[in-house]
C-alpha cells in the first residue's frame, strides 16, 4: 500500500464530501420551503407566495444541479478510491445505498423536471405534487445516507464470517443502528436551519435596501420562525446524539472533549490546545465537573479519557475538538439570533432593525459551516476506522498510486472552485434581482424558442457569440 495514496484519497474524500454536503443540506431545506410556499399560495391565493416560489425555485435549480453532479462523484468514489472498504461493507450496506438511488434519486430527478419546467404543462395540483415529491425525495435520500453512515459509526445486525467477510443478520438492526434516529434528526434539522439562515440573509439583505418589500418581509418572518423553533430543537437533538456517542463511541467522545485521563468529575474544556504527542492539553480554560455533566448527564460520572485507548486507536484530537466547538458555537449564535428575531417580531418590526438585519446577513453562510464542522466531528472522530471497530481506514483504500490520486484531487479542487464560485455568483445575482417579477417573466409569449411557463423564463436574454 502506498501511504501517500492513502493520505491523498482521504483528502480527496473529505474535500469532495465537504463540498457536496452543502448542496443536499440546502436543497433538503429549500425543497420543503418551496412545498410550503406553494401550498400557501394554493390555499391563500396570495400572489406574494407565488412570487416567492418562483424566486426561490430558480436558486433551488442552481443548487440542485450542483448537488447532483457532486453526488454522482460520491457514488463512484467508494469504488475508485475505497475498493477494499466497498468489497467488505457491501454485503451489509450495499442495499442501503442502492435503495437511496431507487427511492430518492429517481424521484427527485424525475419530478424536478416537472417542478422546474412544468409550471404551465400540468395543473396546479400536479405541480404541487411534483414539488412535494421532490421534497420527499430529498428527505428519503437523507434517510438512507445517514442510515449507511450510522452503521459505519456503530455497526449492528451483522456477523463476521471465518473468512473475514461480513453478513447481515438483521436488516432492521442494520438500517436502524443505535445512533441513526438521533443523527437523522440532527441532520434534517441542520438542513432546515442552514436553509432558513440563507433565506433570512437574502431577505434581510433586500430589506436593508427596501424595508417595504412584501415578499422579503414574509420570507424574513418565516426564517425567524425557523430560527426560533429549530435552533433550540437542534440543541436537544445534538445533545441526544452526543449521549449516544458517550455510550457507543467513547474514543470519539474523549476526542470531542479532549479528555486524556479517565476519571469522574471531568472538567469541561471551553478552549484548549490538545497535544497528541504529550497526551495533554495546553492553555486549557476549563470548568470543573461540567464535562461529566454535559457528556454523561451528571457531574460525578466517570468518563473515559484518550489514554485508556492504545495510541493507534485514537482519533485526531485537535481537529475533532475544534470542529465540535465551531459547530456548537455557531449553534448558540443561531439560538441567539432566533430569540432576538422572535422578540423583534413580537414587539416591533424586525425589518426596521438594521442591526438585526445585518446580523442575519452575516449569519447566512454559517449554517453550512456548522454542517461541515459537524461532519468533521462525525467522520474524523470515527478514525482510525471506516467501519468502527471492524475495518481500519488504512486497510480500506484502493490499490492506487499517489500520482493518479494527486492529479484527481487537484482536478477536483480546480473544478469545484470554478463551479462553486460561479454558482454562488449566479445565486447572489438572483438575490440582487429579488423576488419582484421582472418585466417579461411568466407573462410574455415564448421568446427565442424558450417555452412559456418555463419557470426560469426571467433568465437574461443576451445574444450569444458562436462558441
Partner 1 sequence: MNLDLPLVWAGIIAISVLMYVLLDGFDLGIGILFPFARTPAERDLMMDTVAPIWDGNETWLVLGGGGLFAAFPLAYAALLPALYVPILIMLMALIFRGVSFEFRLRGRRTGKRFWTGAFAHGSIIATLAQGFVLGGFIQGVTLRGGQFAGAPFDWFTSYSVIVALGLVAGYALLGATWLVWRTEGETHERARRFAWAAAGAVAVLLAAVSVATLAVHPQIAARWGLQDGRIDWSQLAPRLPIPALGGFGLALIAFALSRRTHVWPFFGAILVFASGYLGLAVGFFPYVVPYSLTFRDAANADNTLAFLLAGGVVLLPAIIGYSLWVYYVFRGKVGADAGFYH
Query: With respect to partner 1, which residue has the nearer C-beta, 32 or 86?
Result: 86
- 110 burial (CB, 10 Å; 0-12 / 13-18 / 19+) is middle
Is 450 among the residues that bind partner 1 (CB under 8 A)? yes
Query: With respect to partner 1, which residue has the nearer C-beta, 64 or 259?
Result: 64
Nearest-angstrom CA–CA distance, 279 and 270: 18
Is 107 among the residues that bind partner 1 (CB under 8 A)? yes
| Footprint (CB under 8 A) of partner 1, residues 179-238 | none
Query: With respect to partner 1, which residue has the nearer C-beta, 77 or 292?
Result: 77
Nearest-angstrom CA–CA distance, 420 and 64: 13
| Footprint (CB under 8 A) of partner 1, residues 159-178 | 165, 167-168, 171
Q: Which of 229, 218, 199 shows the shortest CA–CA distance to 44? A: 218
| Footprint (CB under 8 A) of partner 1, residues 112-151 | 112-114, 116-118, 120-122
Is 329 among the residues that bind partner 1 (CB under 8 A)? no
Cell numbers describing residue 56: 426561490
Query: With respect to partner 1, which residue has the nearer C-beta, 5 or 228?
Result: 5
Q: Which of 268, 246, 271 shows the shortest CA–CA distance to 259? A: 268
Is 440 among the residues that bind partner 1 (CB under 8 A)? no
| Nearest distance, CB of residue 93 and partner 1, angstroms | 9
Q: Give the N- to C-terminal CA distance of the chain in Å, as an integer.
A: 45
- 148 burial (CB, 10 Å; 0-12 / 13-18 / 19+) is buried
Q: Annotate each residue in 53-72 with x if it binds partner 1 (CB under 8 A) or - if it does not, as one string.
A: --------xx--xx-xxxxx
- What residues form DSSP beta bridges with 167? 159
Q: Which stretch binds partner 1 (CB under 8 A): 272-280, 325-333, 349-357, 455-463?
A: 455-463
| Nearest distance, CB of residue 143 and partner 1, angstroms | 13
Q: Which stretch binds partner 1 (CB under 8 A): 228-236, 342-350, 371-379, 445-453?
A: 445-453
Is 302 among the residues that bind partner 1 (CB under 8 A)? no
| Nearest distance, CB of residue 250 and partner 1, angstroms | 31
| Footprint (CB under 8 A) of partner 1, residues 383-402 | 398-401
Cell numbers describing residue 150: 450510522
What are φ and ψ of residue 447, in 5° steps? Answer: -115, 130
| Footprint (CB under 8 A) of partner 1, residues 69-98 | 69-73, 75-76, 78-81, 83-84, 86-87, 90-92, 94-95, 97-98
| Nearest distance, CB of residue 224 and partner 1, angstroms | 29
Residue in 45, 125, 439, 464 binding partner 1, rule: CB under 8 A: 464
Is 406 among the residues that bind partner 1 (CB under 8 A)? no
| Nearest distance, CB of residue 448 and partner 1, angstroms | 5
Query: With respect to partner 1, which residue has the nearer C-beta, 36 or 419?
Result: 419
Residue in 3, 106, 209, 389 binding partner 1, rule: CB under 8 A: 106
Query: With respect to partner 1, which residue has the nearer C-beta, 83 or 280?
Result: 83
Is 415 among the residues that bind partner 1 (CB under 8 A)? yes
Residue in 196, 303, 430, 431 binding partner 1, rule: CB under 8 A: 430
Query: With respect to partner 1, which residue has the nearer C-beta, 352 or 450?
Result: 450
Query: With respect to partner 1, which residue has the nearer C-beta, 101 or 236?
Result: 101
| Nearest distance, CB of residue 83 and partner 1, angstroms | 4
| Footprint (CB under 8 A) of partner 1, residues 238-277 | none
Amino acid at each position: 500500500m502506498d501511504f501517500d495514496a492513502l493520505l491523498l484519497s482521504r483528502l480527496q474524500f473529505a474535500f469532495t464530501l465537504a463540498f457536496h454536503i452543502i448542496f443536499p443540506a440546502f436543497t433538503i431545506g429549500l425543497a420543503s420551503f418551496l412545498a410550503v410556499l406553494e401550498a400557501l399560495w394554493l390555499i391563500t391565493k396570495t400572489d406574494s407566495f407565488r412570487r416567492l416560489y418562483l424566486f426561490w425555485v430558480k436558486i433551488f435549480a442552481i443548487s440542485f444541479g450542483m448537488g447532483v453532479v457532486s453526488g454522482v462523484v460520491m457514488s463512484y468514489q467508494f469504488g475508485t478510491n475505497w475498493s477494499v472498504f466497498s468489497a467488505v461493507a457491501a454485503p451489509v450496506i450495499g442495499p442501503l445505498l442502492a435503495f437511496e438511488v431507487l427511492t430518492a434519486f429517481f424521484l427527485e430527478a424525475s419530478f424536478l423536471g416537472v417542478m422546474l419546467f412544468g409550471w404551465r404543462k400540468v395543473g396546479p395540483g400536479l405541480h404541487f405534487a411534483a414539488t412535494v415529491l421532490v421534497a420527499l425525495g430529498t428527505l428519503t435520500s437523507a434517510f438512507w445516507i445517514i442510515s449507511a453512515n450510522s452503521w459505519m459509526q456503530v455497526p449492528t445486525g451483522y456477523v463476521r464470517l471465518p473468512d473475514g467477510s461480513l453478513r447481515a443478520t438483521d436488516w432492521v438492526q442494520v438500517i436502524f443502528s443505535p445512533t441513526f434516529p438521533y443523527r437523522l434528526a440532527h441532520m434534517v434539522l441542520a438542513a432546515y436551519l442552514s436553509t432558513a439562515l440563507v433565506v433570512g440573509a437574502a431577505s434581510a439583505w433586500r430589506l436593508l435596501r427596501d424595508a417595504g418589500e412584501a415578499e422579503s418581509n414574509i420570507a424574513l418572518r418565516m426564517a425567524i420562525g425557523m430560527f426560533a423553533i429549530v435552533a433550540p430543537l437542534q440543541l436537544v437533538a445534538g445533545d441526544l446524539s452526543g449521549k449516544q456517542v458517550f455510550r457507543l463511541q467513547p474514543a470519539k467522545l474523549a476526542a470531542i472533549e479532549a479528555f486524556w485521563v479517565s476519571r469522574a468529575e471531568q472538567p469541561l474544556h471551553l478552549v484548549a490546545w490538545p497535544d497528541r504527542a504529550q497526551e495533554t492539553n495546553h492553555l486549557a480554560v476549563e470548568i470543573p465537573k461540567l464535562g461529566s455533566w454535559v457528556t454523561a448527564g451528571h457531574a460525578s460520572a466517570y468518563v473515559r479519557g484518550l489514554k485508556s485507548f492504545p495510541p493507534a486507536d485514537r482519533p485526531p484530537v485537535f481537529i475533532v475538538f475544534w470542529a465540535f466547538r465551531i459547530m456548537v458555537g455557531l449553534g448558540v449564535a443561531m439560538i441567539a439570533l432566533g430569540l432576538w428575531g422572535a422578540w423583534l417580531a413580537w414587539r416591533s418590526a424586525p425589518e426596521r432593525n438594521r442591526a438585526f438585519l445585518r446580523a442575519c446577513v452575516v449569519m447566512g453562510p454559517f449554517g453550512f459551516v456548522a454542517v461541515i464542522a459537524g461532519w468533521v466531528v462525525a467522520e474524523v472522530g470515527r478514525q482510525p476506522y471506516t467501519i468502527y471497530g471492524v475495518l481500519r481506514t488504512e486497510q480500506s483504500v484502493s490499490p492506487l498510486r499517489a500520482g493518479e490520486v494527486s492529479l484527481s484531487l487537484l482536478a477536483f479542487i480546480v473544478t469545484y472552485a470554478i463551479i462553486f464560485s460561479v454558482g454562488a455568483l449566479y445565486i447572489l445575482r438572483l438575490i440582487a434581482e429579488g423576488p419582484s417579477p421582472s418585466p417579461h417573466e411568466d407573462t410574455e409569449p415564448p421568446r427565442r424558442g424558450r417555452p412559456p411557463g418555463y419557470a426560469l423564463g426571467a433568465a437574461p436574454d443576451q445574444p450569444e457569440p458562436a462558441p
